[in-house]
Chain A
Amino acid sequence: QSVLTQPPSASGTPGQRVTMSCSGTSSNIGSNSVKWYQQVPGTAPKLLVYSDNQRPSGVPDRFSGSKSGTSASLAISGLRSEDEADYYCEAWDDSLNGVMFGGGTKLTVL
């Protein structure tokens, strides 16, 4: 069982806006920055968001991250078929003294 909790699945239709959540505690999300990664099946993960809400260069602004207290969210607007992937949140945990990943959310574009 992951320290960071994500819903196992999410879905949307092309053009829609979808959000996915990541729930943690005061020792991880509550006190450290959150990152989000996208993993298309069969490929390596790709960094989408760092420092809660910052995008690396090259990541479309359709992807946005936010954080409030011990929870974080990733929103994808203007959903496209190529967004179909697994999405993982990640944060450092001060109590466990290590990097923790959420269990991942599988996004289906209907």
Chain B
Amino acid sequence: QLQLQESGSGLVKPSQTLSLTCAVSGDSIISGGYSWSWIRQPPGKGLEWIGFIYVSGSTYYNPSLKSRVNISIDRPKNQFSMKLTSVTAADTAVYYCARVRLTYGRALDSWGQGTLVTVSS
């Protein structure tokens, strides 16, 4: 059974870089028909898509975050990662990683449990 587990810094200072990794288990990250995504949810608010990466390495990012975000994939380690630069308090959120099922119209069909990242000095 597929499992996704986020890990990374839970507290980041303003202007620094937020780094998170999503470890994938139960399937290969390079299985055909899937890509991989990051989504976030500020406390008490709705979901915001950050971006996704195909196994080829091609990426798509939320236009509002594009200048600050980078998503990469590590095939040997079966994981993918996200970096968000120049963070502010507005970047405080629960960050989720998820699998994108391409045959489901790019639906997010499996999610990690999420990890809270707080931006504060």
With A44-B96, A96-B63 as known contacts, state yes or no: A104 contacts B109, CB within 8 Å. no
A22 to B62, CA, bound (A): 20
B→A interface (CB under 8 Å): 37, 39, 46-49, 52, 60-63, 96, 101, 104-114
Whether a CB of chain B sits under 8 angstroms from the CB of A66 is: no
Q: When the two chains form the complex, which single residue of A46, A47, A101 contacts B48, counting CB atoms closer than 8 Å?
A: A101
With A35-B107, A50-B104 as known contacts, state yes or no: A101 contacts B46, CB within 8 Å. yes
* Size class of the contact patch on chain A: 20 to 34
How many residue pairs link A and B with beta carbons under 8 A? The number is: 70
Whether a CB of chain B sits under 8 angstroms from the CB of A56 is: yes
Question: Which secondary structure characterizes the binding site on chain B?
Answer: strand
A35 touches B46 (CB 8 A): no
Whether a CB of chain B sits under 8 angstroms from the CB of A68 is: no
A98 touches B96 (CB 8 A): no
Q: Which 7 A-B pairs have the closest CB atoms?
A: A33-B105, A50-B107, A99-B49, A50-B104, A44-B111, A101-B47, A35-B107
